[in-house]
Structure 1
């Protein structure tokens, strides 16, 4: 039987009947009108090639009135080469050019296009049913169908056409086309959906959301996910199916702009088709495939996973909870899959020249950083020996891997209910690794007093992440446990070297915070001078003030505010833990603060300010995610209250 796709490509080579971009077809219209006057338009003149000057050329009679003698190079540019009849046709075009009107793009235009598309779809369906074994019988209609689909891309250029397109059941037609037997037609449809759902189109966000909700109601997300399995995962960049998969992933990413869509990517909780959507198993299988070099689709699958996990608490829960069966690795969870991929990079980073592989590597780390903030994700990290892998990367991995591994530890330990993880880290030699990076850190600011950087042989690891891990260990390790004793011992060894190091970091951070505060105050004072006298402009100015205040608030923490909080939390814990032990840590801390004209009261002031920023609200009907956030905030506030009372 003749291959359908190859036949379609042959028919497409003839061109299709879709409209041209300019829509005017001025020359054709003029020639048609000219013919109605009783004269047949002349044929086009022969092409004269400059590179064939030595060959004999046809002699063309100059048009009447042409001044050949004034033409440069034998009259080729000023009138030569056109007969009188051809010149008459062009004069006719110039005369009636202004009478050709642009096509009007409104609901009526959409209705006509969709009616034609629906008619062609039905015709193609009938021919396919009548001649299932004779592709040549229905390929002409399939070529016409291809042109109709592509012509609808004009909708993206006219925002006013979006809602009429949905109201006139255009989305329903596209949903049906996604199940077409010809994959080229399916890919054309996917490409059109990709263009229609792009958030960069010039349409109001509310209208775009309403438009895209029509796609959700029609079940297009589910059909797109089904097509991921239908289309082959060829790594050939120019392959049609490869392009189709990439476009499906792009469409799915377009829908993640709205949180409601991110929630239903992995699991449907409402409607008739409740349950697993099939997207997560497909993504896991795709990113676990070993490829050299890494293909664009594998990288994009990892990127989509990272985006969905960041935006949806429901999808994160499904990712951590569900177990999936893979052909080569058996049963595994999402966290297990991420750790298996990262284990390939425990000794080195991806090659710098391999952009797709580097992005895959970073996206997998980003996904892991998100899921370990969920209690179920932390349990899976512990169950699959994830702490061991992260410590190995911190010891022997590349620079990029070390940076990201420390951030994952920081996120994983940030909760007040992860004692098991903290114990596991210390029991597996994690203190040696963390303190080695702390000791080799060197604080250095840039001249603009932006967020301080750390420059040393471990400059790629941010100091804030290291401080975050230490603060979390004090918070989570059980009281009087051997692990807590080992932690305190690290600050006692080498004549309180780590205490002095933290005090030095604190001094530098205080200077950065003070200079940042001066810069922010100057900027605020200057802006407040611009307060308008016109009451009509005052509302806009007040809105701008609120926006600026939010920016200044964030800038305060980026320029040392967060780091100062972390340092003072650790120092407060050191003073509290040494109250009864008499190890000399508290005494060394007090003397060091006095040398900087500071005291424990200044640390207390930082913690009080930190505590005031934590707002805890009890609301009715809150989601699971909101409940978790409130509980975390409550635990953090309680810890700060205890330290403040001690100080």
Structure 2
């Protein structure tokens, strides 16, 4: 959950006894405050955290701390566990598990006979949570001779769901990222063991039977189960395909997203977040999502935001996670781009852009991914065919207003819009290059390029406005880089190719990437119509610049083209770009 802004206000958390120099001071356990903040956020139905004032955030932090502090005003102290007491606890735990199993087998139809053993086992599980504060002794918990972790995982599917809820909370605390970071050895051992015992598969089976709609504790257990998955992936992202495919997590997430009503909105939001992580980590998961009807599922979930904004922080987070999932999925062209096209994804993005809701920001990002690369050619043609130019060019002239808490900036919107126009120009041919090209493609190219000449060249004026804006940003960055280079040279440091690449990336982040898009579009428009070229030259002269300002940017862009498509294609694209430069 998004509790980072709140946690910025926390005091420095300490473990063990309070500092004697601080009168009456006691340390509040960080992990417990974090979990309490997550619970508070899950229960909120008004403004998301990122729209709160600093005072409101501080009050929420204090509320979370007060929940952790006991009723007598004293902080709950972290219990110190040594190896001897750890062995005793594990032995007691194993004995109580055995007693409970024996009682259930002996009296299967008489709960009163085994209820006491379950209460004792439940209490033992709660006591074992003290181990989660000391990852350095995890090796004992994970030792083969104790068998403790295997027993804990087995209890996830205990017939009594209260027992399952307690065990999942224990696993969640054991795998807490902040705790594991305190002991690399303990963290690696735990994650390896959880993976070996296929804990995600066990959790998925258990989530199927839990009632998140009517039982708050079971909804929290599902939420914690997803938290365990996130903790595992934090340490071993290469397990993404294994847990998604072989352990059944991806099908469960898709089914959960399809649930129309009755579920916990925080669980749904968290499920979409886990899906986003899986997709970002693995191309195989991207492909499997497309093969599992996942693209249609994501589009169906986004369609609810056509005419309404998110009504809670969880709803907003779910929407953004779903947009992120779709963007990641579209990076895998086959089969996801074609499914996006056939599932009328472009039509949905067009509607989202026109409705002027918060979802239009995510729609711009998805559209950028859908049209990019040569794999986006069919989507580019379809976008013009469904009158998408009528949606994108008004936003080009006037980007959407940035509202507080939307998570986007004007520069990000401008980058997405310019990238969309860039790929439309790149992917819609100016002439029939092969027998596979359709005559309508050339007609659509004419419709696209005519946009730059209509209404007295207003879009060229806008392009030049953006050119000057981003050129100024890049020049400012160049001055800083020049100063850094002088400092390095003064102390005798060499500026090698690796450092030059770092400087180039810094320039791209400062606005060079957007400037390259702008200047490429200017060259294409000028090449299409001589009057456009005259308009550009006039604008440059009025600002004391000349055409080399634009030429140099595109030349540099051509020289930096990657060779991911092969040397031949790279040289072909470089020659095309340089031909545009020379004809300007």
Which interval holds the TM-score relative to the shorter structure?
Answer: 0.7 to 0.9
What is the SS of the residue equivalent to 2:82?
Answer: coil
Q: Which residue of 2 aligns with 1:483?
A: 444
Match runs of 1:531-610 below 5 Å: 554-576=505-527, 578=528, 584-610=531-557
Match runs of 1:80-229 below 5 Å: 105-106=82-83, 108-168=84-144, 169-201=147-179, 202-205=181-184, 207-229=186-208
Q: Which residue of 1 aligns with 2:330?
A: 372
Match runs of 1:414-563 below 5 Å: 414-441=372-399, 454=410, 462-480=413-431, 481-522=442-483, 554-563=505-514
Deviations 1:157-176 (A, max 9, x none): 22211223222433211222
Whole-angstrom CA distance in 2 between matches of 1:130 and 1:551: 69
Please say if residues 302 and 319 of structure 2, whose CA atoms lie closer than 8 Å, have aligned partners that are also in contact.
yes
Give the direction of change, closer, same or farther, for the CA distance of 1:430–1:193 in structure 2 (3 Å limit).
Answer: same
Shift of 1:343: 1.4
Shift of 1:423: 0.3
Whole-angstrom CA distance in 1 between matches of 2:530 and 2:168: 68
Q: Which residue of 2 aligns with 1:402?
A: 360
Please say if residues 524 and 580 of structure 2, whose CA atoms lie closer than 8 Å, have aligned partners that are also in contact.
no
Whole-angstrom CA distance in 2 between matches of 1:150 and 1:504: 63
Shift of 1:556: 2.6
Q: Which residue of 2 aligns with 1:643?
A: 577
List gaps (5 residues or longer) in structure 1.
1-20, 24-101, 269-276, 323-332, 445-451, 533-540, 617-629
Whole-angstrom CA distance in 2 between matches of 1:595 and 1:334: 53
Shift of 1:292: 8.1
Please say if residues 416 and 632 of structure 1, whose CA atoms lie closer than 8 Å, have aligned partners that are also in contact.
no
Whole-angstrom CA distance in 2 between matches of 1:525 and 1:605: 23
Whole-angstrom CA distance in 1 between matches of 2:387 and 2:520: 23
Give the direction of change, closer, same or farther, for the CA distance of 1:172–1:524 in structure 2 (3 Å limit).
Answer: farther
What is the SS of the residue equivalent to 1:491?
Answer: coil
Whole-angstrom CA distance in 1 between matches of 2:262 and 2:93: 42
Whole-angstrom CA distance in 1 between matches of 2:451 and 2:482: 40
Give the direction of change, closer, same or farther, for the CA distance of 1:646–1:585 in structure 2 (3 Å limit).
Answer: same
Please say if residues 572 and 643 of structure 1, whose CA atoms lie closer than 8 Å, have aligned partners that are also in contact.
no
Q: Which residue of 2 aligns with 1:344?
A: 304
Shift of 1:612: 4.1
What is the SS of the residue equivalent to 2:374?
Answer: coil
Whole-angstrom CA distance in 2 between matches of 1:496 and 1:506: 15
Q: Which residue of 1 aligns with 2:254?
A: 284
Whole-angstrom CA distance in 2 between matches of 1:587 and 1:110: 81
Whole-angstrom CA distance in 1 between matches of 2:385 and 2:119: 67
Q: CA RMSD in A?
A: 3.3
Q: Which residue of 2 aligns with 1:313?
A: 283
Name whichever structure is richer in helix by fraction. 2
Shift of 1:564: 0.7
What is the SS of the residue equivalent to 1:266?
Answer: helix
Q: Which residue of 2 aligns with 1:327?
A: none
Whole-angstrom CA distance in 1 between matches of 2:124 and 2:548: 75
Deviations 1:587-633 (A, max 9, x none): 433444344444444333223333444444xxxxxxxxxxxxx3399
Give the direction of change, closer, same or farther, for the CA distance of 1:432–1:633 in structure 2 (3 Å limit).
Answer: farther
Please say if residues 294 and 356 of structure 1, whose CA atoms lie closer than 8 Å, have aligned partners that are also in contact.
no
For the pair 1:243 / 2:210, whether they are aligned, the reply is no
* Larger Rg over CA atoms: 1
Whole-angstrom CA distance in 1 between matches of 2:103 and 2:552: 80
After TM superposition, the score normalised by the length of structure 2 is 0.75
Give the direction of change, closer, same or farther, for the CA distance of 1:636–1:296 in structure 2 (3 Å limit).
Answer: farther
Please say if residues 488 and 574 of structure 1, whose CA atoms lie closer than 8 Å, have aligned partners that are also in contact.
yes
After TM superposition, the score normalised by the length of structure 1 is 0.68
Whole-angstrom CA distance in 1 between matches of 2:153 and 2:444: 59
Please say if residues 320 and 334 of structure 1, whose CA atoms lie closer than 8 Å, have aligned partners that are also in contact.
yes
List gaps (5 residues or longer) in structure 2.
1-14, 18-78, 403-407, 432-441
Whole-angstrom CA distance in 1 between matches of 2:401 and 2:478: 19
Q: Which residue of 2 aligns with 1:71?
A: none
For the pair 1:260 / 2:238, whether they are aligned, the reply is yes
What is the SS of the residue equivalent to 1:347?
Answer: coil
More relative contact order in 1 or in 2 (CA 8 Å, sep 6+)? 2
